């Protein structure tokens, strides 16, 4: 990655409204079988001069300047349309989209998301909203209410980066999440590190007891993958399985992955 440049509000607004944002998708697979059950949408900015710009260089700017609703609309609309295209090609997938806490301020948000899904012909059960606290929240009442309404509409809710300062036990108490994503800092290398292992185990147990699906993020090598297998984690995501990719690459990746997975079980 290039040295980090932070973009201005005008540049980010321009990018959002001039179709310079593009969705990449990273597979989520079942650890026990290797089956792909969904993808996470990760936005990139195809900058006319600076090549590919990563979200840490513009999501914060969008949040700080009231542009995050527009950004989420663009990303979600594209992700839903793509999900329909995959479905028509015989690939039934869940699509996850990252939602900023700053999206969860208006009580219209659930109806709005429901309308976009309906227009795209995608069932709410197929849509996962991944939530992180991007900043210290002053007032959690609106986000709680909005997440609860989304859940009642049958959208799936996922708590992202679990175990970091951005995700807390209080959120689990207050919101009926369907999925818990163990942060990558507790996954990669956990098999060889007592402290990481303890946090990974605790997160897994917690999710089990609350009946949530568990996704381990940051699965970077075969040792990480084998560790998830041994510990009975549900789903995995990470560079070992696939890097985030343009939608057009997914079919080829599936073919490669199936071949790799069959190799794993032969050795087990
Ligand atoms: P995240 O939601 O935690 O997404 C996972 C990040 O980890 C992604 O970085 C992904 O490319 C990276 N990753 C995936 N597998 C591995 C691995 O095995 N090892 C390592 N070290 N990293 C891995 P990315 O795409 O740069 O996104 C960074 C963050 O930006 C995301 O973190 C998410 O919080 C935010 N973001 C991305 N797209 C959107 C969006 O559309 N809306 C909002 N509000 N935030 C977004
Ligand atoms: Ca995420
Ligand atoms: Ca994460």
pLDDT in the model for residue 45:
97
pLDDT in the model for residue 220:
98
Separation of 115 CA from ligand 1 center, angstroms? 26
Q: Are 167 and 134 in contact (CB under 8 A)?
A: no
Q: d(Cα 155, Cα 176) in Å, to the nearest integer?
A: 11
Ramachandran angles phi, psi of 96, nearest 5°? -105, 140
167 lines ligand 1 (CB under 6 A): no
> Could you say which ligand is closest to the alpha carbon of residue 161?
3
Separation of 160 CA from ligand 2 center, angstroms? 6
pLDDT in the model for residue 2:
57
43 lines ligand 1 (CB under 6 A): yes
Indicate the top mutation candidate among 54, 96, 98, 100 to test ligand 1's pocket, ranked by most ligand atoms within 8 A of CB: 98
SS3 at position 9: helix
Q: d(Cα 154, Cα 201) in Å, to the nearest integer?
A: 29
CB-based neighbours (< 5 A) of ligand 3, an ion:
160-161
Instruction: For residue 62, give Cα distances in angstroms to 89, 201, 235.
Output: 34, 35, 30
Q: Residues near 191 by Cβ (< 8 Å), separated by ≥ 6?
A: 197, 223, 224, 226, 227
The secondary structure of residue 252, as a DSSP letter, is: H
Separation of 18 CA from ligand 1 center, angstroms? 23
Indicate the top mutation candidate among 21, 55, 218 to test ligand 1's pocket, ranked by most ligand atoms within 8 A of CB: 55
The secondary structure of residue 184, as a DSSP letter, is: G
Helix H or strand E segment including 29:
strand 21-30
- Minimal CA–CA distance to 207: which of 243, 163, 261, 251? 163
For strand 127-132 and strand 213-216, is the pairing parallel, antiparallel, or unpaired?
A: unpaired
Residue whose CA is closest, atom 35 of ligand 1? 55
Separation of 87 CA from ligand 2 center, angstroms? 22
20 lines ligand 1 (CB under 6 A): no
- Minimal CA–CA distance to 264: which of 233, 237, 229? 229
pLDDT in the model for residue 5:
84
pLDDT in the model for residue 103:
94
**What pTM, to 2 d.p., does this model score?**
0.96
Sequential pLDDT tens for the chain (268 residues): 556 788 999 999 999 999 999 999 999 999 999 999 999 999 999 999 888 999 999 999 999 999 999 999 999 999 999 999 999 999 999 999 999 989 999 999 999 999 999 999 999 999 999 998 655 556 778 888 999 999 999 999 999 998 887 667 777 777 889 999 999 999 999 999 999 999 999 999 999 999 999 999 999 999 999 999 999 999 999 999 999 999 999 999 999 999 999 888 655 5
224 lines ligand 1 (CB under 6 A): no
> Could you say which ligand is closest to the alpha carbon of residue 28?
1
pLDDT in the model for residue 174:
79
pLDDT in the model for residue 6:
83
> Could you say which ligand is closest to the alpha carbon of residue 40?
2
Separation of 268 CA from ligand 1 center, angstroms? 31
Q: d(Cα 22, Cα 74) in Å, to the nearest integer?
A: 9
Separation of 107 CA from ligand 3 center, angstroms? 25
- Minimal CA–CA distance to 151: which of 174, 132, 181, 169? 174
Ramachandran angles phi, psi of 59, nearest 5°? -65, -45
């Amino acid at each position: 990655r290039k040295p980090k440049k932070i973009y201005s509000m005008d540049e980010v607004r321009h990018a959002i409204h001039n179709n310079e944002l593009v969705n990449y998708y990273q597979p989520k697979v079942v650890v026990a079988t290797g089956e792909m059950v969904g993808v996470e949408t990760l936005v990139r900015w195809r900058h006319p001069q600076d090549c590919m710009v990563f979200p840490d260089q513009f999501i914060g700017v969008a949040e700080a300047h009231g542009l995050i609703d527009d950004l989420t609309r663009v990303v979600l609309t594209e992700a839903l349309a793509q999900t329909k295209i995959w479905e028509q090609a015989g690939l039934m997938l869940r699509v996850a989209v990252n939602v900023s806490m700053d999206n969860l301020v208006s009580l219209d948000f659930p109806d709005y998301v429901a309308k976009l899904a309906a227009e795209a012909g995608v069932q709410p059960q197929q849509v996962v909203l991944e939530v992180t606290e991007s900043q210290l929240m002053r007032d959690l009442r609106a986000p709680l209410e909005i997440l609860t309404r989304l859940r009642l509409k049958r959208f799936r809710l996922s708590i992202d980066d679990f175990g970091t300062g951005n995700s807390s036990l209080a959120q689990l108490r207050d919101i009926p999440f369907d999925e818990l994503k163990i942060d990558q800092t507790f996954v990669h290398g956990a098999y060889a590190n007592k402290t990481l292992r303890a946090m990974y185990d605790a997160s897994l147990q917690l999710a089990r007891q609350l009946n949530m699906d568990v996704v381990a993020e940051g699965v970077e090598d075969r040792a990480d993958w084998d560790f998830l297998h041994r510990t009975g984690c549900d789903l995995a995501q990470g560079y070992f399985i696939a890097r985030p990719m343009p939608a057009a690459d997914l079919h080829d990746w599936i073919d490669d992955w199936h071949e790799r997975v069959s190799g794993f079980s032969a050795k087990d």
